[in-house]
Amino acid sequence: MFEWLNVWLDDWVNSDNIEMEYINTNKNINRGYRKLRVWEEANLLFRLIYNKLQEIEVTKLLFKVKAQIEDSAFSVHSNIAEGYSIRHLKENINFNNYAIASLAENYSQIYSLFMVGIIEKEWFELYDNTHYSLENKLIAYNKSQIQQLKDNVDWKKDYKGRNS
């Protein structure tokens, strides 16, 4: 359905971006979230939003509102990383739920800006498709984690980050 988004994301991930240099170095068990497609797309969504907010004049949008929008978008990839790094399946599911909730918060904020004309239709459609793709992937990822929990599949880990 969103093949164009996957192509765009693949181009971004496989490009000569300096970010990829850092993604592919200094790997360890705690940084495994960097291989997750949902984490990559969450970072892409944040970049899309951040760049758009930089274009909006201060007179049209208060600093506080911009900060709230950036914070909700920033929370998505942060929660994915934090949940993964705890290395405990139930906690990972909880943090994925926080990431999904942050996505909902961010959508509501961006939709409101679109409705009052601060954000144009073309950009909103790009945002909406990007957001929708990430949201569905994150929901599917969380469902798979919940199924693993039901099936008593233990998290593959070399250490315990907390008592299980």
Q: How many domains does the chain have?
A: 1
Question: Is residue 102 domain-resident?
Answer: yes
Question: Is residue 13 domain-resident?
Answer: no
Residues 32-60, mean pLDDT to the nearest whole number: 91
Question: Is residue 21 domain-resident?
Answer: no
Burial class (CB in 10 A: 0-12, 13-18, 19+), 75: buried
Is pLDDT of 16 > 60?
Answer: no
> CB-based contacts of 65: which residues, under 8 Å, 6+ apart?
109
* pLDDT band, residue 73 (cuts 50/70/90): very high
What values do phi and psi take at 60, rounded to 5? -90, -20
CATH number at residue 62: 1.20.1440.60
Residues 22-41, mean pLDDT to the nearest whole number: 80
Tens digit of each residue's pLDDT (9 = 90 or more) over 105-149: 999 999 999 999 999 999 999 999 999 999 999 999 999 999 998
Residue 49 contacts residue 96 (beta carbons within 8 Å): no
Residue 33 contacts residue 84 (beta carbons within 8 Å): yes
Question: Is residue 69 domain-resident?
Answer: yes
For residue 127, the enclosing domain spans 33-150
